[in-house]
Structure formats: structure tokens, C-alpha cells
Amino acid sequence: MKIIEIKHPKLKKEIKEKWLKELRSGKYIQGTEYLKSISPDGARYCCLGILTDIYLEENKRGWIRPDSSDGTGVCGIKSTNNLSRNECLPSSEVNEWALDESYDGTGEPWAYRKKHPVDTNNLSDIKWSLWNDNDHGNKSFSEIADIIELYY
């Protein structure tokens, strides 16, 4: 059995504090599959959508609204170079804004490991991600905030 230590980027302290506060605030309705979506009963956010919302607010930018006639659907964020529209995961500029200098722009910055050190024979058992916790793990924003405190 080969043991490796998995390192992943850390959040900048001030951004981590804001994100944790917003996740626990109760002001966001939890949604799945997209950073932000709008339904007849209001906006819904993934945990990473809340991080993106903080980024957009701080940078005086807004969400790209759905094109539907009734205003419902998926919102996106246009990259600053206007080459892509992110709807499911934070864009590279959100990642660079949120993560400290340990982030090199590669890999899965929102994945974490449940155990340290990692047994390479069992990676699938211990690798998880914040978006998966939100969309398929049935974790509340408060539970996700606890994970962020522990791993990021």
C-alpha cells in the first residue's frame, strides 16, 4: 500500500470568513446542479454559487440572467475575457480571487480528502467535493460550512 499526502489550496482568510458567514446566514435557498437558478419561488444557490455571489458583489458584477420569457432558469457568470460562461462551477477568476497562493490553477480546487494520509488504493472512498456534498450528499449549507472550516 502506497501512502501519499494530498494537499489542496486554502481559502484566503477574509474570503473564508465571509463565505462561512453567508452559508450559515439563512438568507440563501439551497439548490442543486447550478451555481444559481431562478424558479417561480425564487433564487436557489449551490454552496459554490454563494461563493460566486460574494465574488460578484465585491467586484461590482452581476449574474447573467436566464433568457426565458418568465425569467426562470439557470444564471451564469461570464468570464472576464468573455470566452466562457460558467453555470455549474466557479470560474477561474473566482478560484484565483478566493484561493491563496498555494492554488496553481490546476486540479480540482473544490475537492477535499476525508482522511490524511491517503491510501492510494482507496481514493474513490475518500475523495469528495463541495459540489457533490451540495448536490448529491444531502448536506445543508451549515454542514458544508463545517467541512470548509475543517479542510480549507
The pLDDT score that the predictor gives to residue 65 is: 76
Minimum mean pLDDT range among 24-38, 39-53, 60-74: 60-74
What mean pLDDT do residues 21-45 have? 93
Identify the DSSP state of 99.
Answer: B
Statement: the pTM of the whole predicted model exceeds 0.85: no
DSSP per-residue codes, 91-115: -HHHHHHHB-TT--S-S-TTEEESS
Give the span between the Cα atoms of 38 and 2, in whole angstroms.
Answer: 46
Tens digits of residue pLDDT in 85-138: 668 878 888 888 998 877 666 666 666 655 444 444 444 444 468 888 898 888
Distance CA 82, CA 136 (A): 31
Quick check: 113 and 101 in contact, CB under 8 A? Answer: no
Of the candidates 41, 13, 20, the residue with the CA atom closest to the CA atom of residue 29: 41
Domain extent listing, the chain: 3-151
Which candidate, 115, 140, 139, places its Cα nearest to that of 125?
A: 115
Torsion on CA atoms 121, 102, 79, 31, rounded to nearest 10: 50
Residue 111 pLDDT? 65
Does residue 1 have a pLDDT over 60?
Answer: no
Question: 53-100, pLDDT tens digit by residue?
Answer: 999 999 998 888 777 777 777 887 766 655 456 688 788 888 889 988
Q: How far apart are the first and last CA of the chain?
A: 27
